[in-house]
A = this chain, B = another copy of it.
């Protein structure tokens, strides 16, 4: 049931991204190799968890999937840009992502930098379009919230801190803070986006923000566990990198058993945060289970 919903949202956002990134779309110019690299980065892969959160948080308030797809596509563009830049030799220096060559490996480094830049910029172009929401104020709110989630006080700031953290001793509080920026901020935006699209009230936004906060941290702990014990053939990227780099993770600081315990607690808190929505929130609640129990 949940996997089917996740796959359906993934297919819908894939279709929207294909349209937005089409080489022969009306009025578009031929973007050549850059367009190829952007499509390579954004199409045909990934769990599409963030678009799913947008679509399902919108569904909580009766917003149909079709009306949430631009916002979902925008958040996925930002996610994909961050993967392309994080994989660069100057950053995490990864050769494989989603089971295939990273963008700078499949193309070249300059093209990868520009493809990331292009996807980030496209996200804001998409949010600005009338199809994203009929009300200009809603579109602007999405622009402002996505910019804050993605920028120096959000995801980009978290990636910087994460790179610096490799060289200094860390405790779980500082790792949690870094991850709240690096992965939590964008997941939080995705989970709140439906409430923005529906012009929902502050209380409902807070419930979704609380859910997203626990979900983002659970996602990161699950990632650390996968890096420690996952099979690279299933995970789709190299594992054991953190230990090899001597990098502090939730697993190295807490041990595997305690990290799994923490993960279980966060899963329960994420689910409880959505109780006010009743049965309508079951898909989002299943997403928390999925994130905590994922194998890839």
User: Is the beta-carbon distance between A28 and B129 smaller than 8 angstroms?
Assistant: no
A46-57 vs B: 1/0 string, CB under 8 Å? 000000000000
Which residues of B have CB within 8 Å of A139? 140
Which residue of B is nearest A120, CB measured? B120
User: Is the beta-carbon distance between B122 and A124 smaller than 8 angstroms?
Assistant: no
With contacts A139-B140, A140-B140 known, is A151 near B121, CB below 8 A?
yes
Q: Does A164 contact B (CB under 8 A)?
A: yes
Which residues of B have CB within 8 Å of A156? 34, 114, 117-118, 121
Q: Does A153 contact B (CB under 8 A)?
A: yes
User: Is the beta-carbon distance between A91 and B117 smaller than 8 angstroms?
Assistant: no
With contacts A117-B156, A157-B31 known, is A110 near B91, CB below 8 A?
yes
**How many angstroms between the C-alpha atoms of A73 and B147 in the bound complex?**
16
Q: Does A88 contact B (CB under 8 A)?
A: yes
**How many angstroms between the C-alpha atoms of A110 and B137 in the bound complex?**
35
Pick from A29, A35, A141, A151 the residue with the most CB of B within 10 Å.
A151
Q: Does A143 contact B (CB under 8 A)?
A: yes
User: Is the beta-carbon distance between B160 and A32 smaller than 8 angstroms?
Assistant: yes
Smallest Cβ distance from A194 to chain B, in angstroms? Answer: 19
Pick from A91, A117, A147, A152 the residue with the most CB of B within 10 Å.
A152
Q: Does A230 contact B (CB under 8 A)?
A: no
Q: Does A136 contact B (CB under 8 A)?
A: yes
What range describes how many residues of A lie at the interface?
35 or more
Contact of A118 among B113, B121, B140, B151 (CB under 8 A): B151
Which residues of B have CB within 8 Å of A143? 124-125, 127-128, 140, 143
User: Is the beta-carbon distance between A38 and B118 smaller than 8 angstroms?
Assistant: no
Q: State which residues 2-38 of A face B: CB under 8 Å.
A: 28-29, 31-35, 38
Which residues of B have CB within 8 Å of A31? 152-153, 157, 160
Contact of A153 among B29, B117, B150, B152 (CB under 8 A): B29
Cβ contacts A to B, 29 pairs, < 8 Å: A32-B157, A32-B161, A32-B164, A33-B160, A34-B156, A35-B152, A81-B117, A90-B113, A91-B110, A91-B113, A113-B113, A114-B159, A114-B160, A118-B151, A121-B147, A121-B152, A121-B156, A122-B147, A122-B151, A124-B124, A124-B143, A124-B146, A125-B151, A127-B143, A128-B143, A129-B144, A136-B136, A136-B140, A139-B140
8 interchain residue pairs of minimum CB distance: A125-B147, A90-B109, A121-B151, A128-B144, A118-B152, A34-B160, A136-B136, A128-B143
